[in-house]
Structure 1
Amino acid sequence: MNNPEGLKSFQQSLSGLPQWASERILQQINQLTDYEPAIGIMGKTGAGKSSLCNALFAGEVSPVSDVAACTREPLRFCLQVGERVMTLVDLPGVGESRSRDAEYAALYRQQLPRLDLVLWLIKADDRALAVDEHFYRRVIGEAYRHKVLFVISQSDKTEPTSGNGQLSTAQKQNISHKIGLLHELFQPVHPVCAVSVRARWGLRIMAERMIRCLPREASSPVVAQLQSPFRTTAVQEKARNDFGETVSAVLDAVSAFPLIPAPVRSVIQAVRTTVVSVARAVWNFFF
């Protein structure tokens, strides 16, 4: 935990506990503040994966794995803002090579447990979705549906194109139809997003939905990676509350240790509300 002011506030709120108990709690809170999220991004060639990541995230991107690496290992990129690190995993799009789809299925099954979220990009003008639907049902399945956020990319290419860089009313209506179609085909857990990086359209809503889809421990570190226009009040409040809840879960976990003396357990429960309030109050120090 490399923030002395935030650390001091936590230490004060835990001062009624034995040193070993407060150290155990601080150690686990430290792991939360240093959590390194991993987000997968998939889509067919030309879906605009790189441009979307560059538009959303502020960190400098550097490759972690070699392009010539084994095809079973997807490309991994490190995204860094200051000392904060996040991994983007570039997953291959399905349906482009039937011979490779079986290999991709094995790759996805290997990667999905390690990822906090998968952004599944579908081009606004892509109508060949049967393979995507089959792959979603067979490989993603019930176990990982909650990890997938569908994103309609390049919405400015939706017919009828206006050519003036802005989305017309007719385009927006057709995008709404496409969103409805994807909900019908995939029955996703999370609402489908639609964006246009070129027109700077839909990105703020997508960033908010992405933060809502993430597991609680990942939302704050991802917010720290967002470009400043997307660090909205709603986004920061969601992450702040998530951080408070994860700290609360840490206290519950330590309290549930089998050998904890009953008086110590009582003190942990007594300071719980205060510690969670501190977590929310010092969120800005860490993220």
Structure 2
Amino acid sequence: MRNREGLQPLQNSLSGLPQWVSERILHQVSQLTNYVPVIGIMGKTGVGKSSLCNALFADKVSPVSDVTACTRDPLCFRLQVGEHAMTIVDLPGVGESGARDIEYAALYRKQLPRLDLILWLIKADDRALAVDEHFYHQVIGEAYRHKVLFVISQSDKVEPACGGEKLSTEQKQNIGRKICLLHELFQPVNPVCAVSIRLQWGLRVMTERMIRCLPREASSPVAVQLSAPLRTDAVNKKARDDFGETVGSVLDTVSSMPLIPAPVRTIIQAVRDIVVSVARAVWNFFF
């Protein structure tokens, strides 16, 4: 029902176009609102992947792949909020053994094209990063570096660990050094984040960076999955703007189709900015 309420203003903004053109545009917009993002999450055993997912998302993850299958296969988990869904792919961490890493390299190369983003978790006190570094440069490579967001997990365990209810000044300084080290080793496209699930520290910053790293069509469906405290104004604004831009891209695609007559193409180009503004305005009806 809310989707129909959102589509009506968009339809009105397209009223100057032939019906078959506006229907094509509205159909593609509807497909955008039903996009199912796929986020990969990786890290060594005990890095806290499950804890992070449970802290980030409103819905608890439920497996959709056969958990009795080979443990070296990725496990897929589905999250659902209302009509919107997303998938988390639990990718095995590297560094168990040379033979396993060869298998994992093939597995990753198969999975990378379908992933919208990879959350690569590294424990704050993990100093054995040579294998991760090699894997990142040789397997992820230039083609998919933009999909990786490094997350330093369990930041409360960084030295000097005290088990308190907030990070000490010394711990924050050491986390800063860890972030600098990861930037030096990996030269990532996206800024490195640091979080502590136990202390609920760093999650908002990490979430806002995650939304910025996602492809435009994925940010709104992921934003709606987030737990309420993490759906900040910055998250919602980025998702809203992305939705407007994806709707604008739909108009660009339709306008460039060979069968579109020149006068109709002129109308599409003339109303594009208006349609994008309307899409932003009705975002709440879809998400």
TM-score band, normalised by shorter chain: over 0.9
**Which amino acid is 1:246 matched to?**
T
The answer to whether the 8 A contact 1:156-1:165 is kept is no
Question: Following TM superposition, by how much is the alpha carbon of 1:98 offset from its aligned partner in structure 2, in angstroms?
Answer: 2.2
Partner of 2:6: 6
Q: Which residue of 1 aligns with 2:158?
A: 158
2:147 alignment partner in structure 1: 147
Contact kept in structure 1, 2:2 and 2:285, CA below 8 Å:
no
Partner Cα distance (2:150, 2:70) in 1: 27
For 2:15 and 2:51, how far apart are their aligned partners in 1?
48
Give per-residue Cα distances to partners, 1:186-225, cap 9 Å, x unaligned: 0000000000000000000000000000000000110000
Paired residue for 1:104?
104
- 1:266 aligned onto 2:280: no
- Specify the SS of the correspondent of 1:25: helix
CA distance, structure 1, for counterparts of residue 51 and residue 94 of structure 2? 20
Q: Which amino acid is 1:254 matched to?
A: V
1:134-180 deviations in Å (ceiling 9; x for gaps): 00011000000000000000000001012222110000000000000
Hey, what does 2:44 align to over in structure 1?
44
Residue type of the alignment partner of 1:235: V
Alpha-carbon separation, structure 1, partners of 2:142 and 2:107: 17
Which secondary structure state, in structure 2, belongs to the residue aligned with residue 3 of structure 1?
helix
Q: Displacement, 1:60?
A: 3.2
User: Normalised by the size of structure 2, how large is the TM-score?
Assistant: 0.98
Aligned to 2:34: 34
Is 1:196 the counterpart of 2:196? The answer is yes
Question: By how many angstroms is 1:30 displaced?
Answer: 0.7
Superposed displacement of residue 280, structure 1:
0.3
SS of 1:170 mapped into structure 2: helix
The one-letter code sitting in structure 1 at the alignment partner of 2:74 is P
Which residue is equivalent to 2:115? Answer: 115
CA distance in structure 2 between the aligned counterparts of 1:258 and 1:72, rounded to whole angstroms: 47
TM-fit CA distance, 1:96: 1.6
Question: Counterpart amino acid of 2:261?
Answer: P
1:221-256 deviation per Cα after TM superposition (whole angstroms, max 9, x unaligned):
100001111111111111111111111110010000
Taking only the aligned residue pairs, the percentage that are identical comes to: 78
Shift of 1:73: 3.3
Could you say what secondary structure the match of 1:152 adopts?
strand
Q: How does 1:162-181 map to 2 (within 5 A)?
A: 162-181=162-181
1:257 equivalent in structure 2 = 257
Tell me: CA distance 1:4–1:94, structure 2 relative to 1, closer, same or farther (3 Å): same
The range that moved more, 164-173 or 201-210, is 164-173
Q: CA deviation at 1:72?
A: 5.7
For these two proteins, the number of residue pairs brought into alignment is: 287
Contact 1:60 1:81 in 2 (8 A): no
Cα offset, 1:263, TM superposition: 1.0
Query: Following the alignment from structure 1 to structure 2, what is the Cα–Cα distance between the partners of residues 259 and 176?
Result: 55
- Secondary structure of 1:259's match? coil
Return the offset for 1:266: 1.1
What is the match of residue 285 of structure 1?
285
**1:50 Cα offset (Å):** 0.3
Deviations 1:53-106 (A, max 9, x none): 000010232111012224563100001111210000000000022220000000
**Does the CA contact (< 8 Å) of 2:54 and 2:60 recur in 1?**
no
Q: Work out the CA distance in 2 between the residues paired with 1:117 and 1:19.
A: 37
Q: Which amino acid aligns with 1:128?
A: A
- In structure 2, what is the Cα distance between the partners aligned to 1:21 and 1:204? 41
Q: Match of 2:212?
A: 212
Alignment partner, residue 224 of structure 2:
224
Query: Would you say the 8 A contact 2:47–2:153 is kept in 1?
Result: yes
- State the superposition RMSD in angstroms: 1.1
Structure 2 Cα separation of the partners of residues 270 and 125 of structure 1: 56
Q: How far is the alpha carbon of 1:270 from its aligned partner?
A: 1.4
Q: Distance in 2 between matches of 1:73 and 1:264?
A: 50
Moved more, 73-82 or 151-160: 73-82
Contact 1:32 1:217 in 2 (8 A): yes
TM-score (norm 1): 0.98
What CA distance in whole angstroms lies between the structure 2 residues aligned with 1:14 and 1:72?
50
What amino acid maps onto 1:244 in structure 2? G
- Segments of 5+ residues of structure 1 without an aligned counterpart are none
Q: Which runs of 5+ in 2 are unaligned?
A: none
- Structure 2 counterpart of 1:41, which letter? I
SS in 1 for 2:35: coil
Counterpart for residue 58 of structure 1: 58
